[in-house]
Amino acid sequence: MFKIRSLAAALALAGSVSVASAWEALPTVAPAPDDNPTTEEKIELGKMLYHDPRLSSTDTVSCSSCHNTMLGGEDNRPNAMGVNGQTGGRSAPTVWNAAFNAVQFWDGRAASLEDQAAGPVTNPIEMGMKSWDDVVARLKSIEGYRLAFEQAFGKDAISKDNATKAIAAYERTLITPNSPYDKYVAGDKSALTEQQVRGMNLTQELGCTACHSGPAFNGPGVFQKFPMHSNAFFAAKYHFKDDKGLAAVTKKPDDEHMWKVPTWRNIALTAPYFHNGAAKTLDEAVTVMAKMQLDKDLSKEQIADIVAFLNGLTGEFPKQTMPVLPTTPGTTFN
């Protein structure tokens, strides 16, 4: 995994970046891996699986429960809620534009959308299934899924691998282009207000875009330490030291409090903020990030300008038609 250990290193890596190369519009198509080419049949199957609560032990929690495609791609909770009302220690990341993340989960422990899709289903707090063997057995017992998997992958195709491939194929369609920012960098200089342009330039001047770079403003697979600077008041208020981030996976001291750089896309819709959902508003998040990452105290005007720019990153959401899930007439699993 490629990690940038400090803001200074990030700035050195970024070098002198021209506006022409720094400001990129979001692609409208996400690349698919060679072993999982995108097809309409996979997308439709993945959409069903993504929205089906029967992939949980209680028949009550689906992928969409925490990553709501009718809103900002997450659940607007400080901590995601799973089966039996259990909550974890982290906020659900948005699924919109997740196809452009180099790694998945806040701690980057999944290298792909396919890998990520496998995790929550058997997490005891999230969807609570005992094993993927149980999930596969359940899917095989549903006639509609047997047909849908056959259409997507061929006969006798129900498996963990194919289920996660289908979910990932669907998630690669969840792209939100044509935000006011995208229109601005494409040449429509009226798409952003003067305040939003000031905020855009300010994020570069301050160094925010050293990490939040690229068309999704999530860096090139970058991990960043958070918080970078010590501040006893903010550390206590926001509990930043409670979760060790990547180190919880790698068990390496050097990885403590290292996090995947999250996207800024649609950030106005994904409150509360940070990995633990500790900041309730975008103004608050900008204030804290400036202090904890850049050691800067921003003026009210600067905060307002940056927040205005971030609001300009809300894109156009593709129309979502909810799937008709395969039925189990006369019976249920719970």
Report the predicted TM-score, pTM, of the whole model to 2 decimal places. Answer: 0.92
- Catalytic, 114? Answer no
What percent of the chain is modeled with pLDDT above 70?
93
- Rounded to whole angstroms, the Cα distance separating 104 from 89 reads 16
What number of other Cβ atoms are within 10 A of residue 220's Cβ? 12
Q: What is the model's pLDDT at position 254? A: 93
| pLDDT average, residue stretch 260-289 | 97
Query: Which pLDDT score, from 0 to 100, does residue 23 have?
Result: 94
Write down how long the chain is: 334
Q: What is the pLDDT of residue 15?
A: 35
Which stretch of 38-47, 119-128, 215-224 has the lowest confidence by average pLDDT? 215-224
The predicted-structure confidence for 127-143, as pLDDT tens digits, reads as follows: 999 999 999 999 999 99
Instruction: State the residue for tokens 């021209």.
Output: 18
**13 vs 95, residue with greater confidence:** 95
Is the pLDDT confidence value at 215 over 90? yes
Average pLDDT over residues 68-87: 96
Domain regions of the chain by residue span: 7-27+177-311, 40-171
Please pick, among 74, 114, 126, 284, the residue that the annotation labels catalytic.
Answer: 126
Rounded Cα gap, residues 50 and 63, in angstroms: 5
pLDDT-derived band of residue 334, with 50, 70 and 90 as boundaries? confident
| pLDDT for position 22 | 75
Q: Domain 40-171 in CATH: superfamily?
A: Cytochrome c-like domain (1.10.760.10)
3-state secondary structure of 177: coil
Q: State the average pLDDT over residues 249-262.
A: 94
Q: Which two tokens stand for residue 166?
A: 């289908």
**Block residue for tokens 């691998």:** 161
Q: Return the percentage of the chain with pLDDT > 90, whole number.
A: 89
pLDDT per position as a tens digit, 141-159: 999 999 999 999 999 999 9
Give the DSSP H/E element, type plus range, for residue 13: helix 7-14
Start-end of H helices in the chain: 7-14, 19-22, 40-51, 63-66, 113-122, 132-140, 143-153, 160-171, 180-185, 194-206, 232-238, 247-250, 282-294, 300-311
- Band of residue 333 on the pLDDT scale cut at 50, 70, 90: confident
**What DSSP character marks residue 190?**
T
Sign of CA dihedral 238, 270, 114, 140: positive
Which tokens sit at 214? 């690229």
What is residue 98's predicted lDDT score, i.e. its pLDDT? 97
Angle at alpha carbon of residue 274, lines to 115 and 218, rounded to 5°: 55
Query: Which residue carries 């208020």 as its tokens?
Result: 237
| Cross-strand partners of 110 | 104
Please tell me the least confidently modeled range out of 3-12, 69-78, 202-211, 290-299. Answer: 3-12
Q: Which fold has domain 7-27+177-311?
A: Cytochrome Bc1 Complex; Chain D, domain 2 (1.10.760)
Q: How far is CA 166 from CA 59, 137, 156, 176, 330, in A?
A: 20, 17, 15, 20, 28
The C-alpha atoms of residue 291 and residue 216 are separated, in whole angstroms, by 23
Dihedral angle of Cα 37, 97, 165, 124, to the nearest 10 degrees? 170
- How deeply is 259 buried, as exposed, middle or buried, from its count of CB atoms within 10 A (0-12, 13-18, 19+)? buried
> What is the Cα–Cα distance from 276 to 91, expressed in whole angstroms?
5
Confidence of residue 7 (pLDDT cuts 50, 70, 90): very low
Is the predicted pLDDT of residue 68 greater than 80, yes or no? yes
